[in-house]
């Protein structure tokens, strides 16, 4: 692991592994796919040095299954993929959601659909990250914009996963995954690490793996192999883990899964404001696109244009608060994303007609440049 307090030139995919190991990752299962392959390669090298296990599986759904099994046995587990591999994982992501298995899924996005543009960037998996698996389910999706932030957000992904007993998706893109920046890593002893809540057998007569004993919506989780047998199924289940078709059991389970996330929005959701306090127009972005937006906004500010930005660190649950807190001076919202327009409808719904919401979309495998953001803002302000 990199020594602390020394600047190092580090790739985003490398920072992901460094953060994962500090967070306690001791199992990785995956299958090589551009542009996430470096994560697997580095994990294969580093995990054995800290007593962890790496395994290359035959495909992506098997990788997700292995991650679920390792987590049930008590190991903090992660997998990484891109486009087609993320699609293949969806069935088992749904299984992990319903069975409340903590794990981290990294998606380094590339152009699609299908095989698409394997080596070029995109942000076209935003809605798939939220709704890729079927049925009503909770999900946490976070997105870094800088290499050091990849490290921090990977740690945070594990912490959120363990705390809320749920899968967490780290939604990167090819630019952030392959970019190299100078970073200074923190002393591992200073990094906050969260571990899953375990059952206290001295206080309960019987362990029920899906019983909300503390009233916070998050059942304590025993590890397989530690002497507490229990049943895990992808079927709707009662507090014992036994399958059930009861309407009451079904409604109670789904409601609890949702509430444990939405009742903790303030803990889960993060976003960053820049120059929004007096803005006439605000640009919303995430991932690598936010870097271009930040540059553009600073240039426009020097031209006395009242422009601000919101950078989404958490994409799902969506930060509605960020929209609701905008000052009344904001008349226009521009949603900048490297896709045909995925997040814009959520922004429109959050705005509730208070703003003119416009998309700035690019889906050619090229970055949205600062100049393109500047041109769009000038156009919007001119027509306002």
Pairing of strands 167-173, 140-142: parallel
Q: What is the pLDDT of residues 221-280, one digit of tens each?
A: 999 999 899 999 999 999 999 999 999 999 999 999 999 999 999 999 999 999 999 999
**56 burial via Cβ count (<10 Å: 0-12, 13-18, 19+):** middle
With cut-offs at 50, 70 and 90, classify the pLDDT of residue 4.
Answer: low
Looking at the chain, the whole-number percentage of residues with pLDDT higher than 90 is: 95
Question: Tokens 């697997």 label which residue?
Answer: 40
Is the CA virtual torsion 243, 247, 252, 258 positive or negative? positive
Closest listed residue to residue 185, CA positions, set 364, 368, 11, 18 = 18
Q: What is the pLDDT of residues 8-39, one digit of tens each?
A: 999 999 999 999 999 999 999 999 999 999 99
Q: What is the pLDDT of residues 152-177, one digit of tens each?
A: 999 999 999 999 999 999 999 999 99
Q: Give pLDDT, residue 1.
A: 47
Q: Which residues contact 248 (CB under 8 A, 6 or more apart)?
A: none
Instruction: Region of 133 please: left (phi>0), alpha (psi -120 to 50) or beta.
Output: beta
Token code pair at residue 275: 């120059």
Q: What is the pLDDT of residues 105-133, one digit of tens each?
A: 999 999 999 999 999 999 999 999 999 99
- CB 93 within 8 Å of CB 138: no
- 103-126 b/e (C-beta count within 10 Å ≥ 16 → b): bbbbbbbbbbeeeebeebbbbbbb
DSSP class of 135: S
Model pTM score: 0.96
* DSSP track, 285-332: E-TTHHHHHHHHHHHHHHTT--EEEEEESEEES--HHHHHTS-TT--E
**Greater pLDDT, 383 or 81:** 81
Closest listed residue to residue 313, CA positions, set 351, 287, 276 = 287
Q: 108 forms bridges with which residues in the sheet?
A: 172
DSSP class of 189: G
Q: 142 forms bridges with which residues in the sheet?
A: 170, 314
Q: What is the pLDDT of residues 303-319, one digit of tens each?
A: 999 999 999 999 999 99
Closest listed residue to residue 155, CA positions, set 51, 67, 24 = 24
Token code pair at residue 312: 């989404």
Pairing of strands 53-56, 25-30: parallel
Question: What is the set of domains in the chain, with CATH numbers?
Answer: 8-190 (3.40.50.970), 273-383 (3.40.50.920)
């Amino acid at each position: 692991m990199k020594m602390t307090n020394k600047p190092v030139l580090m790739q985003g995919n490398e920072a992901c592994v460094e953060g994962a190991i500090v967070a306690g990752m001791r199992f990785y299962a995956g299958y090589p796919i551009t542009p996430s392959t470096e994560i697997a390669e580095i994990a294969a090298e580093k995990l054995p040095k800290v007593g962890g296990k790496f395994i290359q599986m035959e495909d992506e759904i098997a990788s997700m299954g292995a991650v679920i099994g390792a987590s049930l046995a008590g190991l903090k587990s992660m997998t990484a993929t891109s486009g087609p591999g993320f699609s293949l994982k969806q069935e088992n992501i749904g299984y992990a959601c319903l069975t409340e298995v903590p794990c981290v899924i990294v998606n380094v996005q590339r152009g699609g659909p299908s095989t698409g543009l394997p080596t070029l960037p995109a942000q076209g998996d935003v809605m798939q990250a939220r709704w890729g698996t079927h049925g009503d389910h909770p999900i946490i999706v976070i997105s870094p914009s800088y290499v050091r932030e990849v490290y921090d957000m990977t740690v945070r992904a594990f912490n959120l996963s363990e705390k809320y007993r749920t899968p967490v998706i780290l939604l990167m893109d090819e630019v952030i995954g392959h970019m190299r920046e100078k970073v200074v890593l923190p002393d591992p002893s200073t990094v906050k690490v969260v571990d899953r809540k375990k059952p206290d057998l001295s206080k309960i007569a019987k362990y029920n793996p899906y019983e909300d004993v503390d009233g916070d919506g998050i059942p304590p989780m025993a590890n397989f192999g530690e002497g507490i047998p229990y049943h895990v199924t992808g079927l709707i289940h009662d507090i014992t883990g036994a399958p059930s078709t009861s309407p009451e059991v079904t409604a109670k389970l789904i409601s609890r899964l949702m509430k444990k996330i939405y009742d903790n929005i303030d803990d889960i959701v993060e976003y960053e404001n820049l120059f929004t306090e007096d803005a006439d127009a605000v640009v919303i972005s995430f991932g690598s696109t936010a870097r271009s937006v930040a540059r553009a906004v600073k240039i426009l500010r020097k031209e006395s244009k009242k422009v601000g930005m919101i950078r989404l660190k958490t994409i799902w649950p969506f930060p509605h608060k960020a929209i609701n807190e905008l000052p009344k001076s904001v008349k226009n919202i521009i949603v900048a994303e490297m896709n045909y327009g995925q997040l814009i409808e959520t922004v429109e719904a959050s705005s509730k007609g208070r703003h003119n919401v416009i998309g700035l979309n690019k889906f050619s495998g090229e970055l949205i440049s600062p100049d393109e953001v500047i041109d769009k803002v000038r156009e919007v302000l001119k027509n306002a």
